[in-house]
Structure 1
């Protein structure tokens, strides 16, 4: 993946996730957490927020499609978009109790805003 090619969209993905987290925190502070969903009782509302975020990026793509996207698209492949944004999110690490230095909670995170 060409980081220079995807930089602007990587920043936008991180910023968009941070804004969505902030909006959800305000919602929960005002309205309280939603009732537990059947079958998802073991997840907190913040964990479900991140699961829903990741779910919107699910896709099936052929190797040819991914190769073309990596060469020409200003976006990273969806899986990388999800992993990159979540790895940079202290809120994600807190919600899922990811140890510092683990793959989903690296010590060095990218924070722009």
Structure 2
């Protein structure tokens, strides 16, 4: 479900898989765009570290948008378990609760993020 919720946050902010994957690679991620896309659509499982790296990439891009005046309606959630199998507590990333498609209105630089 983490990937599906991450994809929801991406859709609401109009972030493309290519943009997220590029940022993911720049952060040190090491899997292909196809695998990231499959994960985001719930078709493939990823290890916790890769899942959280994709989440971090999305949230950093959302932070970049926020600096330009776009307020995201939701954030990508991090995994609920750490690498040792212990529960994590991160209340700042609840799954998106937007009604409908939840797309926030965009200003000027919208096409830059596709």
- Whether these two folds match at TM > 0.5 is no
Name whichever structure is richer in helix by fraction: 1
Structure with higher Rg: it is 1
